[in-house]
Amino acid sequence: MSGNGDLGGRLHRMVAEKLSERLRTLDGSDPLSVEDEQALTRSLIAAELARLAEEAYRNGQKPLDESAESDLAEAVFDRVHGLGCLQPYIDDPDVSNIHVNGCDNVWLVYRDGTKVRGEPAADSDRDLIEMVSTAARRIGRSEKRWDQVSWELHLQLPGGERLHAVMGLTGRPAITIRRHDFSIYRLKHLIDLGVVDEGLAEFLGAAVRAKLNLIVAGGTNTGKTTMLRCLLNEIPPEERVVTVEDNLEIGLDRFTDLHPDQVMWERRGANIEGRGEATLADCVRATLRQNPDRVIVGEIRGIEVVDMLRAMSQGNDGSMSSIHADSSKGAVVRLGMYTAEAGLDEETSNKWIANAVDLIVHLGWVDGMRRVTSVREVLEAEARQIATNEVYRPATDGRAVPAAGPTIRNDTLAQLVDAGFDAGYLTGLSGGW
Across the beta sheet with 400-402, what order do the strands follow?
Answer: 262-266, 241-245, 294-297, 320-324, 214-218, 359-366, 369-382, 385-394, 400-402
Tell how strand 320-324 and strand 294-297 pair up. Answer: parallel
Residues 106 and 195 in one domain: no
pLDDT digits (tens, 9 = 90+) for 350-375: 999 999 999 999 999 998 889 999 99
Q: For residue 2, what pLDDT band results from cuts at 50, 70 and 90?
A: very low
Counting every residue written for the chain, the total comes to 433
Question: In angstroms, rounded to a whole number, what is the distance separating the alpha carbons of residues 293 and 241?
Answer: 6
Question: In angstroms, rounded to a whole number, what is the distance separating the alpha carbons of residues 77 and 72?
Answer: 9
Contact 321, 296 (CB under 8 A): yes
Question: In angstroms, rounded to a whole number, what is the distance separating the alpha carbons of residues 35 and 43?
Answer: 13
Query: Which of 80, 113, 141 lies at the terminal end of a domain, its last residue?
Result: 80
Q: Is residue 37 part of a domain?
A: yes
Residues 43 and 152 in one domain: no
- For residue 204, count CB atoms less than 10 angstroms from its CB and return exposed for 0-12, middle for 13-18, buried for 19 or more: buried
Question: In angstroms, rounded to a whole number, what is the distance separating the alpha carbons of residues 221 and 97?
Answer: 10
Residues 337 and 231 in one domain: yes
Residues 421 and 308 in one domain: yes
Contact 101, 128 (CB under 8 A): no
Residues 215 and 163 in one domain: no
CB atoms within 10 A of CB 284: 25
Residues 259 and 402 in one domain: yes
pLDDT digits (tens, 9 = 90+) for 63-87: 888 888 888 888 888 777 778 888 8
Question: In angstroms, rounded to a whole number, what is the distance separating the alpha carbons of residues 285 and 270?
Answer: 18
Residues 95 and 76 in one domain: no
Q: For residue 202, what pLDDT band results from cuts at 50, 70 and 90?
A: very high
- Provide the residue type at 305 as one letter: V
Q: Radius of gyration over alpha carbons of the chain, in Å?
A: 25
Residues 318 and 259 in one domain: yes
Average pLDDT, the chain: 88
Q: Is residue 283 part of a domain?
A: yes
Residues 258 and 396 in one domain: yes
pLDDT digits (tens, 9 = 90+) for 168-183: 899 899 999 998 888 8
Give Cβ neighbours of residue 6 (< 8 Å, ≥ 6 apart).
Answer: none
Residues 227 and 238 in one domain: yes
Residues 133 and 236 in one domain: no
Give the count of domains, the chain: 3
Query: Which of 56, 80, 104 lies at the terminal end of a domain, its last residue?
Result: 80
Give the chain's count of helices (H) and strands (E): 14, 15
Q: Is residue 433 part of a domain?
A: no
Q: Is residue 432 part of a domain?
A: no
Q: Phi/psi of residue 238, each to 5°? A: -80, -10
Contact 178, 156 (CB under 8 A): no
Question: In angstroms, rounded to a whole number, what is the distance separating the alpha carbons of residues 323 and 300?
Answer: 5
Question: In angstroms, rounded to a whole number, what is the distance separating the alpha carbons of residues 243 and 257?
Answer: 16
Query: Which of 179, 199, 228 lies at the terminal end of a domain, its last residue?
Result: 179
CB atoms within 10 A of CB 28: 5
pLDDT of residue 256: 92
Angle between helices 346-356 and 304-313 (to 10 degrees): 50
Q: Which domain holds residue 166?
A: 82-179
What do you get for the CA distance between the two ends of the chain, in Å?
62
Residues 199 and 160 in one domain: no
